[in-house]
Every structure is written in structure tokens, then in C-alpha cells.
Amino acid sequence: MPLPSSESEERELTPPRELAQITALIQPQLVAVEESILQQVQAFDPAVQGYVAYACGSSGKRLRPALALLAAGATGGIDARHVSLATIIELIHLATLIHDDIMDGADTRRGQPTANARWGNSITVLLGDSLFAHALDLSTRFEETDISRAIARAAREVCTGELLQTQRRFDLQLSQAEYFRIIEMKTAALFGVAAELGARLNGASDAAVRALRDYGLKLGTAYQIYDDCLDLAGDEAHAGKTLGTDLQKGKLTLPMLFLLQTASENGARERINQALLNGDAASLLTLRQAARKAGALAAAATAGRTLIEEACLPLNTLGMTRYRRALKEIGVRLGAMVGQFA
């Protein structure tokens, strides 16, 4: 009698439930992406496959792959090249998460110990590097060099955005414009390139490519704002990751920038600054309550929702398809997620 497949294997091959309804129409291709991600493990030296499998197997939301596939569907159809594209972009995302967790000193992600918690920082730096290099190797298999170039550039944007963010930690002078520039680089760039290249691989019109790129960039920006709100005011057990790390690490997120803006009175501003610089559990609670009370959390959530509306508008220039509707529904769903903080 053959052994049943293990529970973890089954879970890994199932697209996450959160998006399951919206992305039902790309279910076979999302499964193909999941399989393709797991297949990449085989490309590595046997001695390091265990690390790579762990990094790839922590089934995330696969939002970026979904965007690439839906953008492809909305501009002519989905083929094997889009599955490759989705795989590459998710691998780059996974590589950046691995390095993020080192810098944040995070112990858990998606309910599992992080790579750095399991194997220490040295192995984890190199694991991220290896995944990153492998993703860029895969990207050179497209016939068009402009596809691999766009992927490498988006990867560079992500790294530079993270670098800028790290540089500006505990910098109470950070402006909203600077904040938006940083999150557009560190988060939105990969959403943007996923949607853009999904269309470009189909030879879509410049207008369609631009519409999808703009959609990806704005959706990605809103997604980061949602993540910021979650880190400040979310529930750790439900989120499946360590929360409150932004404040501990001195990352000034949008709710905090709104809070600082509302605190015009000197004493209030001084108290917020002090709590931001402290970054301990008591300060986190103080800031969470202050952000709620001052409407700063709600203002950030509203900014996120406005961005989502703007993201979906250019989609009207695309032909009316189930895929276009699904892209809009992702916006609706993300709008509801960020809306819980409004």
C-alpha cells in the first residue's frame, strides 16, 4: 500500500485559502507555480536542498504570482512562460523575506520558525543570496533580454528600498513623501513588475502594459500600508508572524507619520517621539492606543483604500474578462483587509 502524502506536502501544493475564491479561475496555474517553486529545490546542491525547501515551502499568499497570472489572463492568456515568471518573482520575494527576517531578528513567519531562528544569520544570508541568484538565473531563460532586465531592476529596487528604510530607522524627520518612495521601491516594485511582465510576455499594447504596471504598483503600495497597520494594531496569533517589529526596529510607518502630524502640541509630540525611540512593549501599547485615538490608524487605512481605488481605475482600459474582474476583486478584498483598521 503506498504511503499517503504527508500533510505538509499537501498543504504546500494547495493555493492559500485567503485568495482561493478570487483566484479560482487560475487555480491550475497557481498549482503549477507551486509545483514549479518546489521543483527549483532540485536545482541546488543536495547538501543545501533542505534549506531551500524550507524557504520555498512556507506557503505564503502567493499574491505576486497571482498578479502575474491574472495580468496574463487579462491580456490574451496564460502559458508556461507566465508560470516561470510567477515562480521567479516569488523566489525573489522569498529571498528578500529571508534577509528581512535577519534584519528584523524575527523568530516566526507564517506561523513557522524563520530560517535565521533555525540556522543562524550566516547560513541565512547565503540562503537568501542563493535563492536570489537562482531566480535571476531562471530569468535569463526568457528569449527576450528585456524581461530579465526588468526583473533584475525590480530586484534592485526592492533592495535599495530596504536599504533606504534601514538607513532612516528612528529618523523622526522622515516625510510622507519619503515614506511612499521607500515602500514603492521595497514592496510595490515587485507587484508592478509581476503585473507588467504578465502582459508584456503576451505582447500586449503599451496602454495595457502601463495600466497593469500602475495597478501593480498602487496595489503593492496599499498592501504595504495594510502590513504597516497590521504590525501596529494586528493580532499576532491570527497574522502568523511576529508583530510590533516595525516600532521596535524604528521603522516609521504611515500610521506613525499621521500620528506625528496630528500631534502639533509640543508636549504630545515629545511623548510620541520618546515612545518611538523607546520601542518597548509599553511604548508599543501607548502608540497603538494613541494612533487609534488620534485617527492616525484610520487615516493610514483610508490612504490605503484610496490607493486601491486608483489602482483599479486603469483596469477599465483592458477588455472585459474574468481576469480583469479578478484583479479588481483582489483590490476589493485588500480594501476590506486594510479597512478593518479604519
Q: Which is nearer to a copy of itself, 66 or 185 (CB)?
A: 185
* 163/294 Cα distance (integer angstroms): 30
Binding to a copy of itself (CB under 8 A): which residues in 65-104? 96, 99, 102-103
Q: Which is nearer to a copy of itself, 134 or 213 (CB)?
A: 134
The three-point CA angle 283-284-289 to 5° equals: 100
Q: How far is the CB of 206 from a copy of itself (least distance, A)?
A: 21
Helix (H, G, I), strand (E, B) or coil at 292: helix
- Grid cell of 270 as nine digits: 515629545
Q: How far is the CB of 200 from a copy of itself (least distance, A)?
A: 14
Q: Which is nearer to a copy of itself, 7 or 45 (CB)?
A: 45
Among 58-66, 154-162, 266-274, 319-327, the segment contacting a copy of itself (CB under 8 A): 154-162
Among 158-166, 200-208, 215-223, 231-239, the segment contacting a copy of itself (CB under 8 A): 158-166
Which of 133, 277, 285, 332 touches a copy of itself (CB under 8 A)? 133
Q: In 15-31, which positions are buried (b, 16+ CB within 10 angstroms) versus exposed (e)?
A: bbeebeebbebbeebbe
Instruction: Map 182-247 to HEC letters.
Output: HHHHHHHHHHHHHHHHHHHCCCCCHHHHHHHHHHHHHHHHHHHHHHHHHHHHCCHHHHCCCCCHHH
State yes or no: residue 172 binds a copy of itself (CB under 8 A): no
* 214/313 Cα distance (integer angstroms): 10
Q: Which residues of the chain form contacts with a copy of itself (CB under 8 A)?
A: 44-45, 47-48, 51, 96, 99, 102-103, 121-123, 125-130, 132-134, 136-137, 139-143, 145-146, 148-149, 152-153, 155-156, 158-160, 162-164, 166-167, 185
